[in-house]
Structure 1
Amino acid sequence: MEDNNDESSLIVIILDSNPSQRIIRRNPQHLTQCLDSMCVFANAHLMQRAQNSIAAVACHHHAIEFLYPSPNSQTKDIRQIDGQYEKFTQVEKTIKLNLARLVNSAPQIGQQAESMLAGSIAMALCYIARLQREKPQGSKLNARILMLTGSLECASQYMTYMNVFFTAQKQNVVLDVCALDESMTLLQQGCDITGGQYLKLPQTEGLLQYLLWVFLPDPNTRNKFTTPPATKVDYRAACFCHRELIDIGYVCSVCLSIFCKFSPICTTCHTVFKTPAPITSKAKKKKTKA
């Protein structure tokens, strides 16, 4: 097989570091385990091909920041570990230093806060779009996003989710999701829309094995492997009034907002609708005797 040096592969890894996640509240060591597994996965991707590249993004409850490549110049003086490839040392230590700085600077919260998952996908798409604009003419960049999260479903970010899902589909960016704790319906929809892989992790102890087995191969190569069977995608929408997934609802004919109950005024675009008249049953005609 001929090796095309003008083709490269980029993986943007999004790590949900929100301490409000149930899996982290039960055992804070799970975040360290996810971090170590993510670094090994990133180095395995770089080892596959010299042209491959990675980026890492931390998603917190108050901010979204790049862990690698680092915008912070303080990580440039990282010393190489004896016997380890210099690039691997740079990736691993840069990610860990930046994540520690982000977690230590995070404000304390008294209640559970949502992770900014949809915003982190948008930031990853912007980063990919910039690299695609800057790439040399004639070269090809195959980009995909991998998200590691144990958060609950965030229906309040429904519109942002849909925007980033269809933007990724338009940019030919595949979205992969590894759910560490709870099943996430909206992210499952995003994987199906972009042609990615969604996996609800059976146990956190085997995280690294699942990352290398399911998510390390590119989407074209996965068809040749035996991967976990795809689950049925739940395409329910979230209502704009209560931010809950619904089976049947009302849709605004102007802005396509979804509501679980009828409202004479759309709260999104303020369009006024006529109140539907009650359904009346027609009186049956009396039969006339011949």
Structure 2
Amino acid sequence: MQSGYNRLNILGSSSVKNAVLYFDENFTDDYEQQQQQQNQIIIDDQQNEQFALVTQTFHRNFVQWIQECRNIFQETLTAQQTQQQPEIQQTLSSLLSGALAQALCMIHSYKNEMKNSRILVFSIGADHSDTYSSQYMKLINCFFAAQKMNVLIDACSISMNRETEETAPVSASLEDQFAASVLQQGCDLTGGRYIRIHKVASILEHLFWCLTPSATERQQYVLPPKHEI
């Protein structure tokens, strides 16, 4: 959004599969037209072409990825029930470290074109106590690699507890930021920000004010204080 020359890559990570949901190969108009024709992108007169391309491509790939994850999960569950293996919930673990490593490789390939790259991690789930303990060392290694590459990592943890505007306390999204997690450690190591959001209606507000500005611009904003780990 800040510049038309920025590149955007979107990766999806679950406990069963990682996938590239959007890949910005280059900036040429010919490439955009080719993608529109291949993916049957429909652009209205009131839409920005780049935004429409990203939105529709991401949506199509996201739906396909979710369906593939469900199929893999169901196949694994059926196999474990047949073989009388432990519960699937006890065997699944996060694949986030692989997605972060892939993102860093993409950034490294752009190093001659992009000097200030960033990674934004969206963590969506019902259990905010998850600390990715099964891949702790792998994640920490990714964070140190990002720190060495001067890549800022932000993280936004979105609650799925379905709190309404009336029942959720106003300060809930600020208070819950301070819960320690491995994602917060990664943000602190790379100079990024870690926030938690309880109310879905406040997502855009948090993204615009806390995560969209660059590291330099954030110094001009009055943001919630970081929690020292």
The answer, yes or no, to whether TM exceeds 0.5 is: yes
2:203 match: 207
CA distance in 2, matches of 1:81, 1:153: 43
2:106 is aligned, of 101, 122, 127, to: 127
Contact 1:70/1:94 (CA < 8 Å) preserved in 2?
no
CA distance in 1, matches of 2:97, 2:180: 13
CA distance in 1, matches of 2:185, 2:135: 14
Write out the 4+ residue segments of structure 1 that deviate beyond 4 Å after TM superposition. none
Residue 142 in structure 1 maps to residue 116 in structure 2? yes
2:187 is aligned, of 171, 187, 191, to: 191
- Which residue type is aligned with residue 204 of structure 2? L
Contact 1:143/1:174 (CA < 8 Å) preserved in 2?
yes
2:167 match: none
SS state at 1:178 partner: strand
Q: Structure 1 98/79 Cα, relative in aligned 2: closer, same or farther at 3 Å? A: same
Which ranges of structure 2 fall in alignment gaps of 5 or more residues?
26-34, 78-87, 160-175
Structure ranking higher in helix proportion: 2
Residue 159 in structure 1 maps to residue 137 in structure 2? yes
RMSD: 2.1
CA distance in 2, matches of 1:50, 1:92: 16
CA distance in 2, matches of 1:76, 1:166: 37
- Which residue type is aligned with residue 214 of structure 1? C
2:17 is aligned, of 54, 63, 81, to: 63
Q: Structure 1 80/145 Cα, relative in aligned 2: closer, same or farther at 3 Å? A: same
2:222 match: 226
CA deviation string 1:92-122 (max 9, x = no partner):
0000000001111122255433331111111
Structure of higher CA gyration radius:
1
CA deviation string 1:244-275 (max 9, x = no partner):
xxxxxxxxxxxxxxxxxxxxxxxxxxxxxxxx
TM-score (norm 1): 0.58
1:82 match: 45
Q: Structure 1 100/70 Cα, relative in aligned 2: closer, same or farther at 3 Å? A: farther
The offset of 1:179, in angstroms, is 1.3
Contact 2:121/2:154 (CA < 8 Å) preserved in 1?
yes
1:108 match: 73
TM-score (norm 2): 0.72
Residue 170 in structure 1 maps to residue 124 in structure 2? no
1:179 is aligned, of 144, 148, 157, to: 157
Which ranges of structure 1 fall in alignment gaps of 5 or more residues?
1-44, 234-290
CA distance in 1, matches of 2:38, 2:110: 22
1:93 is aligned, of 56, 69, 78, to: 56
2:168 match: none
Q: Structure 1 117/184 Cα, relative in aligned 2: closer, same or farther at 3 Å? A: farther
- Which residue type is aligned with residue 121 of structure 1? L
The offset of 1:57, in angstroms, is 0.8
The offset of 1:218, in angstroms, is 0.6
SS state at 2:9 partner: strand
Describe how 1:4-15 pairs up with structure 2 within 5 A. none
Contact 2:117/2:151 (CA < 8 Å) preserved in 1?
yes
